[in-house]
Structure 1
């Protein structure tokens, strides 16, 4: 009982720290989830029949939806055999900020939506504290399917998913990418440097094959904050987010 009370108090404290009195608005956009194997096979045929040239003629929303449909029926790696739903990502096609995590967890695998579990609820509070909503940003992951038992993704699995993420970023053209956690930061920056040394400052990121430089802010994953509860860790994340806010003209 005492342990449960402590956990509840920690969550309330986190809520107060990041909410800052800002109203929590609704969750982001919904996704249509495909579950039929027959439908999946049909979609595989249709999405691969479309050309890149045709994709570029679509609106941003349509381009992201096309990528999402490909992700939902993807069989490039063995994660397609163990997932419930793939999790393409969701949010504003014109987002100035894109949040990128490592990969879906159990709640995300069941719903097909990114960051909807406890860590996702904390991310929503952080976004709201930034005077934004989930509808203002785009949220996705490095890999689009949950690894069994939430194990770290294999290099082959990240390789299989990389093109989806880069295509999403190329469509959205955000001003800032926020990498949530060491896995996302190391993958996108192609580095072995610890997240503690990467966070606290902007890095330059260029989509492979592109020329435009995007500001890149690594920070701790919300799940890390839940596991390593301390005012110091929460302050570090909030300091990172205040730098992001300042960069896009939001007063903290």
Structure 2
């Protein structure tokens, strides 16, 4: 390809990328869901069965973000189903929450990574505008990052989850708390006590936020 044709192609690609970002940034819930369902921005679209957009209260105070869909989620199109989903539901119930009331649940990426591997940075980067739009529309009071992948992506860090737990972080001005992913807790029962501590910390943080800024 000549330099001139390469420059034209790069310019066109840049314009298409800007158009995509603009469209996402102005999408309502229905439009955003439709855009995600037909997205081919990264190779994960080639292996998915369906996208997993998110579920819950679209005006929730609580936003829970995991890493990516697993096999069962890929089949059903809903995040956190199966054993990990049941555990998350129990975790929510323990602090008087449920996934359909004042809670929204989604993931860093909307398509299942093959063999349940962690999402690559490029894949998370292509999905990030969708997540940012969801956050903008929900306007949660508190974000809970479930697991290392979600925490590292949201906080732009490679720090360990052990070092990120127990502290109040911030994402785009929104308080953020880090805890373990339910799938990890199924394999590491000893850390359930730590996860409970995180949930108590999150509950107390939410109470303080609600007291400081009543609805």
TM-score norm. by structure 1 comes to 0.71
Gap regions ≥5 residues in structure 2: 1-19, 209-215
Structure having the higher helix fraction is 2
Asked whether 1:237 is paired with 2:195, we answer: yes
1:225 alignment counterpart: 185
> Residues 122 and 52 (structure 1 numbering): CA distance in 2 closer, same or farther, change over 3 Å?
closer
Q: Evaluate the alpha carbon distance shift between residue 189 and residue 227 of structure 1 in structure 2; reply closer, same or farther with a 3 A threshold.
A: same
**Paired residues for 1:1-252 under 5 Å:** 55=27, 63-136=28-101, 137-206=103-172, 213-230=173-190, 233-249=191-207
- Post-superposition Cα deviations, 1:183-238, rounded to whole Å, max 9, x if no partner, equal 000000000110011011211211xxxxxx100001011111111112xx111111
Give the whole-Å Cα distance in 1 for the aligned partners of 2:140 and 2:23.
24
Work out whether residues 201 and 240 of structure 1, in 8 Å CA contact, stay in contact via their aligned partners in 2. Answer: no
Distance 2:143 2:201 in 1: 12
CA deviation map 1:79-118 (0-9, x unaligned): 1111001001111011001000000000000000000121
- On the 8 A contact 2:25/2:129 being kept in 1, the answer is no
| 1:166-198: CA deviation from partner (whole Å, max 9, x where unpaired) | 110011010110000000000000001100110
Distance 2:73 2:60 in 1: 21
8 Å CA contact 2:25–2:133 kept in 1: the answer is no
Q: Equivalent residue of 1:75, what SS?
A: coil
RMSD: 1.7
Match of 1:12 in 2: none
Distance in structure 2 (CA, Å) of the matches to 1:247 and 1:155: 30
Alpha-carbon distance in structure 2 between the residues aligned to 1:52 and 1:152: 24
| SS class of match (2:189) | coil
What whole-Å deviation, never above 9, does each CA across 1:57-83 have from its counterpart, x for those lacking one? xxxxxx223211111111111111110
Question: How many equivalent pairs are there?
Answer: 187
What is the rounded CA distance, in whole Å, between the counterparts of 2:33 and 2:42 in structure 1? 16
